[in-house]
Amino acid sequence: MKIAIGCDHGALALKECVKKVLAELGAEIDDVGVYTEDSVDYPDIAEQVCEKVVSGAAERGVVLCGTGIGISIAANKIRGIRCALCGEAYSARMARAHNDANVLALGGRVLGPELAGDIVRTFFTTDFEGGRHARRVGKIMALENK
């Protein structure tokens, strides 16, 4: 699976931890940055990651900022993206199983590496259940056309 990943300056350390977990899962990683702690605007990173997901250049994405809030809001403004901000593994499981989330958001200043690893492992090993959830995801996506 090819995963696009990107962060702002507030989550650089956690991004590097997440990349190790993704590599352990056998993912091909497309890191769009950042690579230093110089200040950047997280909407720009969200756009780069999500464009790769929407175009099919990546199957899923991971976006990170200090809390994960701002970058998840930005990601969800992009047509075709269902970004879930997760702070524990249960939400990550439900984001995939029930919402078919295609981007995971994490907060670099609120999560430690071990918990983030659990979230990432859960998100990337859980399949969408379909069924009644597919109808609901369809309704979510239809909101983009209103």
64 bridge partner residues: 7, 106
Point out the catalytic residue in the list 7, 17, 86, 98: 98
3-state secondary structure at position 92: helix
Point out the catalytic residue in the list 17, 50, 65, 86: 65
For residues 94 and 70, the answer to whether their CB atoms sit within 8 Å is: no
Is 98 among the residues known to form the active site? yes
Is 50 among the residues known to form the active site? no
Distance of alpha carbon 131 from alpha carbon 96, whole angstroms: 13
For residues 59 and 124, the answer to whether their CB atoms sit within 8 Å is: no
Which residue has 């990432």 as its token pair? 120
What's the Rg (C-alpha) of the chain?
14
Return the active site residues.
Answer: 65, 98
